[in-house]
Structures are given as C-alpha cells and as structure tokens.
Structure 1
Amino acid sequence: MPQPLVTIICLCYNHERFLKEALDSVVAQTYLNLELIVVDDMSTDNSPAIIQEYIQKYPQFRFISTGKNVGNCKAFNMGWRASKGEFVIDFATDDVLLPDRVEKQVEAFMKSDQSCGVVYSDAAYINDNSEHLHYHSQKFKAAPDGNVFSEVVGRYFICPPTMMMRRKVLEELNGYDETLAYEDFDFWVRSARNWNYKYLPEVTTKRRLHQHSLSQKFYSSEGRMLQSTIRVCEKAAMLVKKPSEKSALIKRLQYETRHAYLTNHFTETAQFLKLLREQIARPGIVYNLISILNNKQIKLNAVRDLYLRLRYGK
C-alpha cells in the first residue's frame, strides 16, 4: 500500500536562532512521502538567508514568502492551499520534530476510521537553549479520544504543535480563520464539532518556550488575543447542542472572565461577562463582584500575582 502524502508547513517569522534545528528535524523524518513547504512571514532577521541555504541544499523544500507580515493564520492558509498532502502538519520553526513523528502519526491515522480528523500527542517543552523543561502530560494529564468537543470548549489540554490534521478537515473549515490573532482554539472548536480526535501517548515534538513565542504574549497583547478568544466563544455558543457542552462553555467563560479582569483588560472582561450571562442567568457572587470592580476599573495586580504563584508557581 502506498504511503499517503504528508505536508509539513514550516512557518517562520524571525526564528533565526532556532531555524536550522527546526528544519534539520524536518529533513531527518523517517517517513519518506513528504511535501515540505516553508512559509516566511516577512522575517526581519537572517531567517530568509537561512531558508535559501536549505532550499539550495534540499530541493524538496518549496518556499513561499507572504509579501508582507500577515500573521500565523493567513501564512498557514497560504501554505496549505498550495499543498497536496492528505495529512497536514502546522510546524512553527522555533519548535523541533522528533525523527519518527510523522511515521507514528500516520500509523495512528491508518488504525483509525475516516471520522478521525486530528491526531495529537504528548510533547517535551524546551527553552531557548534546547534544554528540557517538562512534558506536556505532566501538567495536562487527561487526554481524551473521540468526540472532544466539550473538552476543547471547556479547557486547554492539546499541545498545538503536536497535531497532524486530515486535509478534509481543513477543506471543510476553509482553513484557519484569518480574522483571528491565533488559530488553535478556533480550529479545535470548529473541527471537533464534526470530527473525532486521536491521542498518541508519546512525545513526538519539542515545543520551545521563549519570550517571543505567541503563547507567552497572550495576556499582554493589548487585547488582540483576548478579542479572538471572545470571537471563538461566540462561535462555540452557536455550536453547543447538549447540556454538558453548555456547561463546558460556562466553565471556559468563567475562566476567561477571571483572567481578563486580573490582567486589567476591562473591555474584554465586560464582553466575557456579557457572554456568560447569556449562558447562565445568575453567574454567581464572584462574577457579580468582578462586574462591579471591572466597571470601576479597579486593578487587583497583587491578587493576580498571588493567584499566579499559588496556581502556577510563578
């Protein structure tokens, strides 16, 4: 049986420090039937020169320049729309693939039925110097299979760079929503409504944590990231069908309300509170108090810092 074609879309924006390690990990894959596309989102460092080196050395790489800085969602869409793979990986070039990543995930897809739209896995987190920090499964131990819609609405548990997506899923969704500042929450909500997920309990990817990564800017982006989260929660509200799914959405809105308020995003806090009240008539004493404090724009930085220390050890 011929191997299905897998597309790895390598997204680069100012990843000069990490780019060679990332692209080397793509070249080192044990799976052979690969389509490799590098999309550079108008990097201002030495990334384009490094990419050109790899294109000359490895002609299997195709190169796309976005022409102007367009952000992750649009840059990825440019890559996958130019691709042909039956399965697709969204790979940021500050991360690292383990050599058998593609091989193991294709095998997992082949063992699943056609309702499986996404295979995801455990990941190892690394720092700027590629030193090990911890495993994703140490902090997010429950990794469900099958219908995960309620789970993705209610909480974070998938490490985004570990995903391999069936092309049909992306086609059904018309790719990522390019109006959003980030892609993963929206993709999970929209795809999990109609497709099953499969968890592979192995480390396939090294995810890098550094000060310039998108995940580190979530609550410090002048509200852009939170505005996208509000948009996705609105979509989720239209997609819920069962009481358990509505409960998951309420849980998400409560979480986002707390964090938006404690990071002094007063406009976004009010928007989350509005969505919360649309789902539950009496949101409770805590959220009524947050509403009062938020209207007066009272900052509780000390409470936020204490919460982060107790909850995350920061």
Structure 2
Amino acid sequence: MQEPSPITSSLSVQEPLPLVTVVALCYNHAPFLAEALDSLLAQTYPNLEVILVDDASTDASRDILRKYAAAHPHWQAIFLPENIGNCRAFNQAFRQARGEFFIDFATDDVLLPERVARQVACFQHLPPDYGVVYTDAELIDEASAHVRYHYRRQAGGQLHPRPASGFVFAEVLRRYFISTPTMMMRRATLEQLGGYDETLAYEDFDFWVRAARDFRFYFLDEVTTRKRLHARAMSRRGYRPNDPFLASTIRVCRKAQVLCRTPAEQAALAVRLRWELRQAVRWGNYSEAWDLFQLLTETQTVQPLDWVLGQYAGLRKK
C-alpha cells in the first residue's frame, strides 16, 4: 500500500478539534520545568488536556508544579507519594485522561509552539490504523543551546538514519530511529496495549514493538520538539555496569520473539539481539549477555563472533 504523502496543510476547519492529552511527567526536573511548562502554554492548538505528574521528586519540582497548577486551574496535577517510574506514572494519568491523542512529555524537554497542531493535522489526513506520528527533534544541552538534530542530513538533504513510515515492526526491532519525545499516540493504540507495561523500567522500546505489530507509524519531516541532553537523563545509564534497563530490554525482546511472524522479522530481531549482546559484554553485564545469547540461538542465526561472546559471557556470569 502506498503511504500518504507528507502533510503540509493546517488543521481542517470542517472537523471539530479532537482533545489532545499531554501527560507531563516530572522527576527532579526543577532546573528545566519552567521552560517545559511555558512551552505547553505557548501551544497554538486550543483543545488541550494537561495532566502534571510528579513522580516523588526530591528537588524543588513540586513547588514549581504547584505554582503552575494554581495559575492554570484547568490543568490537573498528580503528586505521587513515592517514586514508581515512568511506566506506572504515565498509566495513572492515562486512566483518567479523556484525550483522543496523547503526548508523553518529559518535563526536561520543550515543545515547539506548533507541535500539537501540526501532529493533529497529520493524523486527520491518515487512516485510523495509524497509531503514531513522530518527527525530527532538536537536541539541546542543559543551557538550552543547540547541539544537533536527531536525524543527520547528508549533502543532498536526505535524512540519516532514514525514518520509516507504515508498518514498521521489523524496523523497530532492527534499529533505534524514533525520537521518543516527538511521538503523538492515538488513544485507541494505547487502549489496545493496556497502556505501558508497568513491569518494565522504561517504556519506548516495548511500546514500539507492541504498537507496530498492528498499527502503522508515520514520520512527519518537521522539528517539533527540543530534546534535552543532560547527565541525569535515563539514556545516560544505558549499558553501563548494572544497567537498570537491560533486563527490561531482554523482556521486550522475548515479547518480540513471540510476535514475529516471518523469517524477515526473525532476522530483524537477530540484528537487535546481536547488538545488545555486544553491548552487554562490552560493559561487563555477563548474566544479561548470556540471556541475550540464548535468545539469539533461538533465531538460528548465530554467527562465529556471537558464539565466542556467548561462551565468554557464560563463563563470566554470576
């Protein structure tokens, strides 16, 4: 099936504007909160439901959130008594939200003013089996200065890595290419999945795998979000010794193995497992490396280096 052409028109004036829920998740984002919340206030899209969720911050975040909630009483605020992690925190908001579309907004990032309007306009031109619209992002540092864009462009302007649209299940297994903060998700997609998997330490890889099995994704070639790079970001802990997220990655790979339907999808999963195996061995996560090697053997695509790394991990694991 031919994919829809890129969306360039604005919101349709003939259709009522759907409600968009922004779940603003905060954990110790005090230095960045004002800029993040001001970017919500700057949105040109008028039909927003904002739910602030503080996951038991220990800095000044709660005071800032209370100030904004008091100034904007149509916003909702949830102050969790203990830290429960992104997946459970998001689901608490999701269960009480009313939006047709959702943005999972980490409050160390920034939304550009047309972000919501442009993605809703895109969804209005897409069939209902499109569950996600995602875009390019500008990466910024702690002082909000430009670092680079998520996608690198070659001399001719082509994006690298090439973003995928349509049925992207094999692609999300094979490689990371989606800038998570740029996603707008259809409510029906989240409902079919039952929200995020609360047993996991992080949400995006699992969401991509489960959503992409039945829903199409669309890449809108615009910059809609400023994603902040800083030392406290979750991604900075990836693959380091005792990585808290690696066990979740293995769980998602097991789910993906069950969901694979074709040899091509199994081959895509093998690419992922091979990458994760190498990173786990590199950083000394030998027990996890052994588990990844076992999964890789089940794809029947083990290469000589895979076997060497697997045997080494087996000897070193606790």
Distance across 2 between alignment mates of 1:71 and 1:16 = 17
- Give 1:238's match in structure 2, choosing from 232, 252, 258: 258
Distance 2:268 2:307 in 1: 20
Residue 126 of structure 2 corresponds to which residue in structure 1? Answer: 112
Which position in structure 1 is the counterpart of 2:224? 204
Distance in 2 (alpha carbons) for counterparts of 1:142 and 1:151: 11
In structure 1, C-alpha distance between the alignment counterparts of 2:240 and 2:74, rounded to whole Å: 38
Find the counterpart in structure 1 of residue 236 from structure 2: 216
Unaligned runs of 5+ in 2: 1-14, 154-159
CA distance in 2, matches of 1:200, 1:117: 13
Tell me the distance in 2 between the aligned counterparts of 1:229 and 1:152. 13
Query: Aligned partners of 1:169 and 1:66: how far apart in 2?
Result: 26
Partners of 1:141 and 1:238 in 2: how far apart? 27
Are positions 1:58 and 2:43 aligned together? no
Residue 17 (structure 2) aligns with: 3
1:36-47 aligned within 5 A:
36-47=50-61
The residue number in structure 2 matching 1:68 is: 82
Letter paired with 2:47: N
Matched, 1:122 2:136: yes
The C-alpha deviation readout for 1:128-186, integer Å capped at 9, x for no partner, is: 11011110111843111110000001110000000000000110000000000000000
Match of 1:249 among 269, 272, 278: 269
Q: How many residues align?
A: 297
The 2-side partners of 1:22 and 1:205 are apart by 11
Rounded to whole Å, the distance in 2 between the matches of 1:286 and 1:275 is: 15
Calculate percent identity across the aligned residue pairs.
Answer: 48
Name the residue aligned to 1:277. Answer: 297
Asked whether 1:191 is paired with 2:211, we answer yes
SS at structure 2 position matched to 1:91 = strand
Q: Superposed, which structure 2 residues align to 1:288-299 within 5 Å?
A: 288-297=307-316
The answer as to 2:176 corresponding to 1:156 is: yes
Shift of the 221–86 alpha-carbon distance from structure 1 to 2, 3 Å rule, reads: farther
Deviation at 1:221, TM superposition (A): 6.4
What is the distance in 1 between the residues matched to 2:23 and 2:314?
44
SS in 2 for 1:113: coil
- Report the secondary structure of 2:310's partner residue: helix
Which structure carries more helix by proportion?
A: 1
**2:43 corresponds to which of 29, 51, 54:** 29
CA distance in structure 2 between the partners assigned to 1:261 and 1:286 by the alignment: 12
1:222-261 per-position Cα deviation (integer Å, ceiling 9, x unaligned): 2421100000000000000111111100000000000010
SS in 2 for 1:193: helix
User: Aligned residue for 1:174?
Assistant: 194
> Aligned partners of 2:241, 2:30: CA distance in 1, in Å?
23
For the 8 Å contact 1:41–1:66, the answer to whether it is kept is yes
1:16 counterpart = 2:30: yes
**TM-score, scaled relative to structure 1:** 0.92
**CA–CA separation in structure 1 for the residues paired with 2:216 and 2:109:** 26
**What is the CA-CA distance between 1:293 and the residue it aligns to?**
2.4
Partner of 1:310: none
Assess if the C-alpha contact under 8 Å between 1:223 and 1:268 holds in 2: no
The residue type paired with residue 285 of structure 1 is: P
Q: 1:55 offset after TM fit, Å?
A: 1.0
Distance across 1 between alignment mates of 2:105 and 2:74: 16
